Amino acid sequence: MTTTTKYIFVTGGVTSSLGKGIIAASLAKLLQAQGYRVTIQKLDPYINVDPGTLNPYEHGECYVTDDGAETDLDLGHYERFLNVPTSQANNVTTGRIYQSVIEKERRGEFLGKTVQVIPHITDEIKARVQSLGNSGDYDIIITEIGGTVGDIESLPYIEAVRQLRWDLGENNGIVIHLTLVPFLSAAGELKTKPTQHSVKTLMESGVQADILVCRTEHDLPHDLRRKLALFCNVKEEAVIQSIDASTIYDVPNLMLDQGLDKVVLKKLNLKSTEPNIERWNQFLKRHKNPTSEVTIGLVGKYVELQDSYKSILEAFIHAGAENEVKVNIESIHSEYLSSDNIKLKLSHLDGVLVAPGFGERGIEGKIDAVKFVRENKIPFLGICLGMQMAVIEFARNVLKIKDANSTEMAPDCDNPVINLMEDQKNITEMGGTMRLGAWDCDLKMGSMARDIYKAESIKERHRHRYEFNSAYRTQMEEAGLVASGLNPDTGLVEIVELPEHPWFIGVQYHPEYKSTVANPHPLFVAFIKAACNYKKKHKNATLAQK
Ligand code: GLN
């Protein structure tokens, strides 16, 4: 639509966790809804090459793209809002920047020069930002800079923004600065000082904010907006309030009401029209007006931190809206589950999801949970480690292979029903070496999976090292656990299901990464539907008993 690619840089002040990712995604949605081709990129100032080696307690879930990049969870928001896949290029960390600069140095590409933060690191950052723009696939690139302005680790990024604004020329690159406007309840007042200070900090690095997005608990009155505009060198129309919302899916409409898209487009010298967000609003309407509710147990070991299972929780929101039901999630810590308390913890649930994970902690609880839902015919969805636990449970309790295990937990076990693939055995490095990204999967004729996906073959995203051991497949299938999805090239088992059970599916991949507002994931939609049916049946059975 435009001849030059335009750039929007989103920075944050005072504190991180102000919701830059959601603001970026909401703005992108509004621009996309006016016909612009938009993508979002996240720059993370930490030294890990990617978040793949990080514990979920650090930055929440690790999100995975089709091309197998292990990325920040904000990319999940971008995909869920825009319904456009992201890729490795959409997430860059300081670690990756340094890694490529150092590799270039080793190859002699700097021709004997001293390699320095400015210009070499900043040039690499600029190249990474512009590589998306140069692809020709987008009209607008929104680059979100993680962390807080003023932090030592953010400095090279802010310097790169300063240079890029200069290189790109007026109206081609703008800066949105997110700040907090705290409310002091004792004084009954909203305070503008933190915003003034962080705009000043940004200016000390030579970057003037064009637009302020102010996170607030209360409406910003007119005089306060005027004051902020005056002190921060922005137009009054460029002071945008971001009031706390009950759901992140309200934020695009809140930004529309505040005119964020209009100010942005004006600054970029682009045409602005009325965004068409009808489909989005239909989703919101269904999400906010459920006709019934179900309760799903989420069995995992990182349940203390909601962000650890971000994409799963969001996929439930999409699937709930699709079914017009409210999905209540009950987090269940797998470490505290045992055969003694399992009935108490699970019997009231309408469905159970056993979550992905790594390592031994909490796995016996997961196996107990699978046994309970299998025997009591409660709908079950097992994802990745959750699927592996379902296979182990079936082997132990149905096939009576008592020592069945995964070699991840018991490297020398005699019955490794889950084990490492040959090509994983010699890998010693941890980062980026799992089976990652989108892989093909053929669905078995007549299976539940095929019926749910309404397709013969699918592509889903993976992030794991261990696999279903095909040596046990025949025994498993004869006893009733069917491999209903297979990788066509390797024969690896991607889906297992129990035809004798009303709804029991384990998937080796992560369906949650592909669920979006526009395309709720079919497995989650079907799982919630099964939970509704279970609830109805259960209620009728209890009534009949009375
Ligand atoms: N730890 C398991 C594996 O590596 C499962 C990983 C996951 O749940 N994402 O195979």
- For ligand 1, the distance from its centroid to the CA atom of residue 13, given in whole angstroms, is 36
For residue 477, the one-letter residue type is E
Q: Specify the residue for token string 């637009």.
A: 211
Nearest to 277 by CA among 245, 310, 295, 254: 254
Q: Which of 392, 466, 507 to mutate to test the pocket of ligand 1 (most atoms within 8 A of CB)?
A: 466
510 is catalytic: yes
The secondary element (H helix, E strand) that includes residue 109 is: none
pLDDT of 139 reads: 97
Nearest CA owner, ligand 1 atom 1: 358
Nearest to 22 by CA among 210, 174, 249, 214: 249
DSSP SS3 for 415: strand
Q: Is residue 108 within 8 Å of residue 17, measured between CB atoms? A: no
501 is catalytic: no
- For ligand 1, the distance from its centroid to the CA atom of residue 543, given in whole angstroms, is 41
Q: Is residue 479 within 8 Å of residue 394, measured between CB atoms? A: yes
Chunked into runs of 10 residues, the chain (546 residues) has average pLDDT values of 83 79 97 98 96 88 97 97 97 98 98 97 98 95 94 96 96 96 94 95 96 96 97 97 96 98 98 97 98 98 91 98 98 95 97 96 95 98 98 98 97 96 81 93 98 98 97 98 97 97 98 98 98 92 76
Which residues, judged by CB distance below 6 Å to any ligand atom, belong to the binding site of ligand 1?
356-358, 384-385, 408, 463-466
Residues tagged in the binding site annotation for ATP: 17-22, 74, 245
pLDDT of 1 reads: 44
Q: Residues 287, 318, 510, 521: which is the catalytic one?
A: 510
**Which atom of ligand 1 is nearest the CA belonging to 466?**
10
Residues tagged in the binding site annotation for Mg(2+): 74, 144
Name every residue whose Cβ is closer than 8 Å to that of residue 330 and which is 6 or more positions away in sequence: 295, 296, 297, 298, 349
Nearest to 367 by CA among 322, 401, 412, 328: 401
Q: Which of 55, 384, 392, 419 to mutate to test the pocket of ligand 1 (most atoms within 8 A of CB)?
A: 384
Q: Residues 318, 494, 512, 521: which is the catalytic one?
A: 512
pLDDT of 538 reads: 87
- For ligand 1, the distance from its centroid to the CA atom of residue 28, given in whole angstroms, is 33
- For ligand 1, the distance from its centroid to the CA atom of residue 427, given in whole angstroms, is 16
Between CA 291 and CA 284 the distance in angstroms is: 14
CA distances from 245 to 316, 403, 417, 468, 542 (A): 19, 50, 46, 43, 39
Nearest to 529 by CA among 390, 348, 324: 324
Nearest to 457 by CA among 442, 437, 467, 477: 442
Name every residue whose Cβ is closer than 8 Å to that of residue 321 and which is 6 or more positions away in sequence: 283, 284, 286, 287, 520
Q: What is the DSSP string of 238-303?
A: GEEEEE--SSGGGHHHHHHHHTHHHHHHHHTT--------HHHHHHHHHHHS-SEEEEEEEEES-T
Between CA 441 and CA 216 the distance in angstroms is: 46
Apex 265 CA angle, 212 and 177, nearest 5: 20
Q: Indicate if the alpha-carbon torsion angle 137, 142, 143, 147 is positive or negative.
A: negative
Between CA 203 and CA 242 the distance in angstroms is: 22
> Which pTM was predicted?
0.96
Q: Specify the residue for token string 């019934």.
A: 292
pLDDT of 16 reads: 56
The secondary element (H helix, E strand) that includes residue 369 is: helix 363-375
Q: Is residue 377 within 8 Å of residue 387, measured between CB atoms? A: no
Per the structure block, which two tokens stand in for 520? Answer: 């709720």
Q: Is 71 left (phi over 0), alpha (psi -120 to 50) or beta?
A: beta
